[in-house]
Amino acid sequence: MKNNIKADFPTLDQVVNGHRLVYLDNAATTQKPISVIKAVEDYYNSNNANPHRGAYTLSMKATEIYENARAVVKNFIGAKKTREIIFTKNATESLNLLAYSYGMHFIKEGDEIVISIAEHHSNLVPWQQVVKAKGATLKYLYLNEEGIIPDKEIAEKITERTKIVSVTQVSNVLGTIQPVEQIIRKAHSVGAIAIIDAAQSLPHQKVNVTELDADFIVFSGHKMLAPMGIGVLYGKEELLEEMPPFLCGGDMIEYVTEQDTTFAPLPYKFEGGTQNVGGAAGLAAAIEYLNAFSMDRIRQIEEELTDYAINKLSEIPHIILHGTKDIAKKAGVLSFHVEDVHPHDVATILDASGIAIRAGHHCAEPLMRYMKINATCRASFYLYNTKEDVDRLAQALASVRRWLGYGSK
């Protein structure tokens, strides 16, 4: 394993506001290694054509690249069949596909859909639309003081009336790892399907969909070194077969007459229109990079950095950390406040030192209200971050209040 991982990531090799860039917004999107950039470039330089549709060499090459990427994803997440891998734009589109193709089709009046209060809007707003349209009920699993869904909530909220349970495996705000295995078992025990939003977990730890036994799992490529605009929906074959298409048009059809249409088999039934082959090539290259690096090593790096950052930030007066400090229950995300300073001001001040963090409600407004706050600062780590990056963050945070006239306080 090379010592200077940052050298693989061109974006990190720059100066921002007179300082070397420290990128700590990985929960929003990750930077891309040279191998991923080259894979996308190679596709557009040499193999650009419409997949599945041409009887000529270039189209067949594009098809091979696209379908090879599907096989790479299938192996990476431990799925049984490539037909269970649906390419989308991102996790948000994957969740919308499930809401409209499964939810709108199978949910009935009086049914219940259960999600957690920690959900990103993309795993919340679509279900709101489903229950409003179908006369169903949306119920929430609430969190304990550590930011984790407790056993009692799972036992009491998931009932015989529950038809869908859709939860995040890792909170994008708090970084807390939720007990999804327990939630999946409970959902199945009452005859409900279980959906897991793995956008914040799968890039950082091993996720085997067969062992997990979730019915559907969604994630985004751009949070795991791949380009923007490529995402994945994994679904059990028997459930996907029952669902109607989400988007209709070219390439998802079998036969079309003036008054009727039959649809292509899985996975193409859900991939209408010209697909993002360049993105799929980049996703395959990103997975190859992660496999070479080792998911276990990524988890180890993030645990070490998170523990180091918790200790460093805990030493700084007026810093309030949110969520558990137990790294065994936490991914590489730190959500925090600087007392008397709005998170947007904190982010702007840190940017002056070349440090990129996220500030805001993180597309999780219900969670913010549950925590009785409006916004937080969020620093999130990935495989290319170092303790030096954390030191830079801590040093800059120590001076934030002085920037705003609080003196040495």
Q: Which CATH architecture has domain 37-291?
A: 3-Layer(aba) Sandwich (3.40)
Residue 49 reports pLDDT greater than 60: yes
| Whole-number pLDDT of residue 101 | 97
| Whole-number pLDDT of residue 54 | 79
CATH of region 5-29+294-403:
3.90.1150.10
Where along the chain do its domains lie? 5-29+294-403, 37-291
- Domains 5-29+294-403 and 37-291 are alike in CATH topology: no
Q: How confident is the model at residue 307 (pLDDT cuts 50, 70, 90)?
A: very high
Higher per-residue pLDDT: 194 or 263: 194
| Whole-number pLDDT of residue 398 | 95
pLDDT tens per residue, range 50-106: 998 878 999 999 999 999 999 999 999 999 999 999 999 999 999 999 999 999 999
Q: How confident is the model at residue 368 (pLDDT cuts 50, 70, 90)?
A: very high
Omega of the bond leading into 267 within 30 degrees of 0 (cis): yes
| Whole-number pLDDT of residue 263 | 84
| Whole-number pLDDT of residue 332 | 95
Long-range CB contacts (< 8 A, 24+ apart) of 14-22? 15/354, 16/351, 16/354, 16/356, 17/351, 17/352, 17/353, 17/354, 18/354, 19/353, 19/354, 19/355, 19/392, 20/354, 21/354, 21/356, 22/354, 22/355, 22/356, 22/389, 22/392, 22/393
| Whole-number pLDDT of residue 3 | 56
Mean pLDDT of the region 113-130: 98
Looking at 356, 363, 373, 398, which residue is catalytic?
363
Q: How confident is the model at residue 257 (pLDDT cuts 50, 70, 90)?
A: confident
Among 30, 3, 11, which residue's Cα sits nearest to residue 283?
30
Pairing of strands 162-168, 112-116: parallel
| Whole-number pLDDT of residue 376 | 97
Highest mean pLDDT among 1-15, 106-120, 240-254: 106-120
Structure-block tokens of residue 35: 């191998």
| Whole-number pLDDT of residue 1 | 40
Whether 363 sits among the annotated catalytic residues: the reply is yes
Cβ-contact 350, 270 below 8 angstroms: no
pLDDT tens per residue, range 27-48: 999 999 999 999 999 999 999 9
Across 56-60, 375-379, 381-385, least confident range: 56-60
pTM > 0.85: yes
pLDDT tens per residue, range 136-149: 999 999 999 999 99
Mean pLDDT of the region 349-365: 97
| Whole-number pLDDT of residue 408 | 54
Q: How confident is the model at residue 262 (pLDDT cuts 50, 70, 90)?
A: confident
Mean pLDDT of the region 231-235: 98
- Mean pLDDT, the chain, integer: 95
